[in-house]
Structure 1
Amino acid sequence: MEATERKTMDERNTSMAKKRERMNRNWFFFFISPWLIGFLCLTAGPMIFSFFMSFTNWDLMTQMKFIGIQNYVNLFKDPIFLTSMKNTFLYAAISVPLNLLLSLGMAYLLSFHLKGMRFFRTLYYLPAIVPAVASTILFTNILATNGLLNKALSFIGIQGPSWLLNKNIVLLSFVFLAVWGVGATMVLLLSSINSIDDAMYESATLDGATRMQMFVHITLPQISPVIFFNLITGIIGSLQTFTQVYLMTKGGPDNASQMIVPYLYTNAFSYYRMGYASAMAWVLFFVILILSVIVLKSSSAWVFYEQEVK
């Protein structure tokens, strides 16, 4: 009799547990449903459709025509696309390492507890919160032929070049603009440096380590996950540069500053070559994916986490 009651009680408890688990699961799907619907409708759906479009010839007006991989073949025969690829990679190869080095140096210097450091931290971070459009317009005026930079150079007897009209140096204008926003990366690195335990530095000082040795063997390994994060986001962001090119030069002069995303935009919304633009977008997607995987795979050799022993 007692065994029967215990069995009945266990079955009731099991039934209630399953009911509670089912209710929790239903509530879980209910609360994530807005994000799930938004992701399917605004991200996954358009991505799938754009992948299908990349195999078609479509101008939004006429009927969509399937042409296989012809758009991808035409891409690598398009001299403007190849030029935009070269410009984009060159810009990324210069701006990303330079941004990381400057932000790392600034973060290290600003990590010292000296009088007035809060003011300088705020000062260096302020450009990072300026909207991209506003900072681009500002630099367009600074780098104009009769702009502020050339006027300043004229005071010391130097005739400044036409920064935005000289195809040999126009990419440097975008590098200057990238450096202008170095404060965002600097703040992340500064926060990471300040989170390092002072006991590590004290032990190294007692062992006779120099400041450079402490920086190389303590600071860099401790903040390497943040450097890794900024490297990945920097690569992705630089390869997707659009606003600066569109507002400052529109790809000129003679496509010397043309990059992939502005050229994609021009094909999609000026020439209405939606299939061709979609193919371009997927090529860029796979380029970013491959570079991200390479950096991710290499991270095991230089990124250190506290719970790991290497």
Structure 2
Amino acid sequence: MNKLEEIGKLNKFKIKKSSKILKKHKIDPAFLFLLAGFAGLIMFYIWPFFVSMGYAFMDKTVNGSFVGLRNFIELFHNKPYLLGLKNTLIFIGISVPLGMFLSLMVAMLINRIKKYKELFVLVFLIPLVIPSGSMVFFWKALFMNQGYVNSILNTVGLKGINWLETSASLYVIAVIFIWKNLGYNMVLFMAGLHNIPKENYEAATVDGANEVKTFFYITLPGLVSMIVLVAIMSIVNSFKVFKEIYLITGKYPHESIYMLQHFMNNMFYSLNYQKLTTATSIMVLIITLLVQFLFWFERRHGE
């Protein structure tokens, strides 16, 4: 027997021994693969987050003293932070429900199409693959003071608006957010519509229910879980809109689109980690409360 055969037999023995250990202790091999990813999640995300959370209760980053809730109290007396918090909540309140409604309507319309359905789905998914930086010039050319939108308004006899330097900038960013996330939410809603049994619609038709009643009594109840998922994804993505705002308006946007991320970005550049981590903690708390409310809604109204 040569050395290569000995190595092969030794490897087979090790594999059999490992399999016996896994069977003996009833360890699913998939668990070992998930363990590596979970370890990376703890090491690079969860652990640094909790370490940075400690700065929210300290007066200094290095050799600091515990100050309790003083940083939180001072933060709620900070005008830029309160402005960012207010604008962020207003933006979520406008863009998330409107984006979900439009996504659902588009999903229902495409779901009725028999020909070229894949083509329409592809068209709405295009914004997902276009980098934000590539679209900056397009949005600027569209909404700048001498842009295409104002040219159209002037053509029909209306006065143009300085879209990016007035309170109208909030609606511009809402349009960009909806445009970018419409396709993704639409696909999720289409999956939810596909899971609703067709027998329910057939029974409603036999009973004489019109489209409005069918929508409220069959479609919406059947989409509760998907609505909650889309709402959570939309809320999380709404906190990422800072990238588009920064690329389009620069470091000093109009006060109506000064978001929490602007405040945290400024605190990072000024090395004020106490305010940065305090603001981050409150943002995480807000997202957690919103997500818990959505889960409660799903448990109460889901099937």
- TM-score (ref. length: structure 1): 0.82
Of residues 50, 56, 66, the one that matches 1:48 is 50
67 and 251 in structure 1: CA distance in 2 versus 1, 3 angstrom threshold: farther
Q: CA deviation at 1:112?
A: 0.7
Partner of 2:4: none
Distance 1:67 1:150 in 2: 54
d(CA) in 2 for partners of 1:71 and 1:109? 50
Corresponding letter in the other structure for 1:188: L
Q: Quick one: percent identity of the two aligned structures?
A: 23
- 5 Å-filtered alignment, 1:159-174, equals 159-166=159-166, 168-174=167-173
Distance 1:217 1:21, change over 3 A: same
Q: 1:134 aligns to what?
A: 134
- The structure richer in helix per residue is 2
Contact 1:240 1:260 in 2 (8 A): no
**Counterpart of 1:42 in structure 2: which amino acid?**
F
Which sections of structure 2, spanning at least 5 residues, go unmatched?
Answer: 1-18
Letter in 2 for 1:84: G
Q: Distance in 2 between matches of 1:35 and 1:300?
A: 30
Question: How many angstroms does 1:27 deviate by?
Answer: 5.6
Q: Which residue of 1 aligns with 2:9?
A: none
| Aligned counterparts of 1:127 and 1:117: Cα–Cα separation in 2 | 18
- Which residue matches 2:288? 289
Q: Give, in whole Å, the separation in 1 of the partners of 2:254 and 2:169.
A: 11
Task: Check conservation: 1:95, 1:175, Cα contact below 8 A.
Answer: yes
After TM superposition, the structure 1 = structure 2 runs for residues 50-69 of structure 1, keeping only pairs within 5 Å, are 50-58=52-60, 63-68=62-67, 69=69
**Matches of 2:195 and 2:34, distance apart in 1:** 34
Instruction: Give the number of equivalent residue pairs.
Output: 284
Looking at structure 1, the residues matched to 28 and 199 of structure 2 have their Cα atoms a distance apart, in angstroms, of 49
* Alignment CA distance shift 1:30-1:293 (3 Å): closer
1:124-152: CA deviations, max 9, x gaps? 23223323333445323321112222223
Q: Is the 8 A contact 1:250 1:258 kept in 2?
A: no
In the alignment, which residue of structure 2 is the partner of 1:262? 262
- CA shift, 1:170, in A, is 1.7
CA contact (8 A) 2:245 2:253 kept: no
What letter is aligned with 2:266? T
Deviation string for 1:173-212 (max 9, x for gaps)? 1111112121110111122213333222222212222122
**Once the two structures are superposed, what CA deviation does each residue of 1:204-239 show, in whole Å capped at 9, x if it has no partner?**
212222122222222221122111111122123224
Post-superposition offset of 1:161 = 0.6
85 and 250 in structure 1: CA distance in 2 versus 1, 3 angstrom threshold: farther
Match of 1:157 in 2: 157
Gaps of 5+ in 1: 1-16, 305-310
**Which residue type is aligned with residue 148 of structure 1?**
Y
- The alignment yields a C-alpha RMSD, in angstroms, of 2.5
Mapped contact 1:128–1:180 kept (Cα < 8 A): no
TM-score by length of 2: 0.84
Residue type matched to 1:222 in 2?
G
